[in-house]
Amino acid sequence: MTTLMARLRAVLHHTYGRIPLSLRVALLISPVIVVGQYLTMRLLWEMQPVSVLQASSDFGMPRPPPRFMPEPGFRLPMRDYDRGPPVPWDNPPPIDSSGKKLTFARRNFIPPWQSLGGIFLITTLIVWFAAWWVMRPLQRLSRAAEALGRDVGSEPLAERGPPEVRRAAAAFNRMQDRLLRFLRGRSDALLAMSHDLKTPITRLQLRLALLPEALQAPIADDIGTLQKRVEEALTFMRGVHGGEPMQDVDVNALVAIIVERLQDTGADIELRGSARTLACRPGQLERAIANVLENAVRYGGSAVLTIRDRSDALTIRIRDRGPGIPESLLPRVTEPFFRVESSRNRDSGGTGLGLAITKDLVESMGGHLLLRNHPDGGLDVQITVPRQTR
């Protein structure tokens, strides 16, 4: 029983968490308004004699409106609390000072629960619309935060609306400006660091040419490995927000160039499928695909790249023929500098940054990166990028 109640609470909590804030406000306020209306109606009903006619013996009863008495001679039940025969309306008996009441039923009577239900529905819709109208600035702030997560250089948030909303928008824009200044400063520092690191590597390459050829090969490999790792580390620290503009990219041509470049080095790659043009940053998409494809060829020997085009997104799947990755380590392989030593050793040239960079690139385009082991062997990597207008 305890487990059932816990599950029920979890389901209710999950369901309530998916209800928009405007609807929550409507559901909380509407019952209060309806109860207040009902109590007010009851109070007015008791205070004002709308359907109850009291008269004295010397007061002639007026004829009621036609909507209540459509026919002459209509008979009304008249009782002195608990007794009294029906009498004709056109010949009423005298009403003395004992306080007799002459009442008549309404023709179009709506039961109270139906009235309350209708009032509740209408009130809920009105309050929901009002709450949605009030919450629009919060929705704009949410969309701006999502855009900032994808691209720190996105458009600033418009500072309009109530004072509280304007202050929140101004604070958000100040935060975005600080992030931009921080990233610019970091980029400048990394450019200087890149120059400082590449200069001695270039000098080593020049001095290498002076050595005997028998000694050049192993040293050249070490220098090449060092240069590649420095470039990968700088690329990761530089981030993915390089200010590249959005363009309509020919996905088929872009993928073909990447595949042909690797095939020229002897890589075994099979290309399947095609896609329409995609609005994206071509440099980011190229780097993401190339990183995954290079890993697949390096660790799997061969790879199959499949392009799948949908109306809402572009999906690129790359499957290699390697040993795969242990299931327990799959969530960690996109962490910076994480290496799966059992299948990727240092001699292969990996730095542990390829998939981390790819994940950042894909997420900056609003997509997601999925890694899983294929049932027939090998690692299956899926890159999904949503279609969006520029």
> Which pLDDT tens digit goes with each residue over 68-106?
444 555 455 444 444 455 555 555 555 554 545 555 444
**pLDDT of 12 higher than 50:** yes
Please state the rounded mean pLDDT for residues 351-359. Answer: 77
- For residues 115 and 231, the model is more confident at 231
Q: What is the mean pLDDT of the chain?
A: 74
Q: Which long-range contacts (CB under 8 A, 24 or more apart) does 89-98 make?
A: 89/64, 92/61, 94/57, 95/54, 95/55, 95/56, 95/57, 95/59, 96/56, 96/57, 97/56, 97/57
What span, in angstroms and rounded, lies between the C-alpha atoms of 343 and 300?
10
pLDDT of res. 56: 38
With the C-alpha atoms ordered 127, 130, 133, 138, is the resulting torsion angle positive or negative?
negative
Distances (CA, A) of 263 to 47, 258, 259, 301, 320: 92, 9, 6, 12, 15
For tokens 């023929």, name the residue: 321
Q: Identify the three-state secondary structure at position 279.
A: strand
- b/e sequence 78-91, b meaning 16+ C-beta within 10 Å: beeeeeeeeeebee
pLDDT of res. 233: 67
pLDDT of res. 318: 93
Asked if 289 contacts 255 with a C-beta cutoff of 8 angstroms, the reply is: yes
pLDDT of res. 85: 58
Residues in the chain: 390
Distances (CA, A) of 32 to 28, 116, 120, 170: 7, 12, 10, 36
- Per-residue model confidence as pLDDT tens digits over 277-289: 998 888 889 989 9
Q: What angle do CA 53, 55, 56 make, to 5 degrees?
A: 165
Question: In the 3-class helix/strand/coil scheme, how is 121-148 assigned residue by residue?
Answer: HHHHHHHHHHHHHHHHHHHHHHHHHHHH
* Residue 354: Cβ-neighbour burial (10 angstroms; 0-12, 13-18, 19+): buried
Distances (CA, A) of 118 to 37, 38, 123: 12, 12, 8
Please state the rounded mean pLDDT for residues 251-269. Answer: 90
Q: Identify the three-state secondary structure at position 55.
A: coil
Q: Which of 23-37, 120-134, 203-217, 322-336 has the lowest mean pLDDT?
A: 23-37
**pLDDT of 155 higher than 60:** yes
Tokens of 194: 């890149």
What span, in angstroms and rounded, lies between the C-alpha atoms of 232 and 225?
11
- For residues 216 and 23, the model is more confident at 216
Q: Which range scores top for mean pLDDT: 51-65, 265-279, 318-332?
A: 265-279
| Strand extents, DSSP E, the chain | 52-53, 75-76, 87-88, 102-103, 247-249, 268-272, 278-280, 302-309, 313-320, 368-373, 379-386
Angle between helices 354-364 and 213-238 (to 10 degrees): 30
**pLDDT of 170 higher than 50:** yes
Give me the percent of the chain exceeding a pLDDT of 90: 13
pLDDT of res. 70: 46
pLDDT of res. 17: 61
What span, in angstroms and rounded, lies between the C-alpha atoms of 185 and 90?
97
- For residues 111 and 311, the model is more confident at 311
DSSP state of 330: G
pLDDT of res. 125: 79
pLDDT of res. 215: 76
Domains contained in the chain, CATH given: 1-44+109-150 (no CATH), 164-238 (no CATH), 247-386 (3.30.565.10)
- Provide the pLDDT confidence category of residue 223 given band limits of 50, 70 and 90: confident
Asked if 254 contacts 385 with a C-beta cutoff of 8 angstroms, the reply is: no
* Residue 326 amino acid letter: P
Q: How many CA atoms lie within 13 A of 351 on its CB side?
A: 19
Q: Which range scores top for mean pLDDT: 228-242, 327-341, 369-383?
A: 369-383
DSSP state of 32: H
Angle between helices 213-238 and 163-208 (to 10 degrees): 180
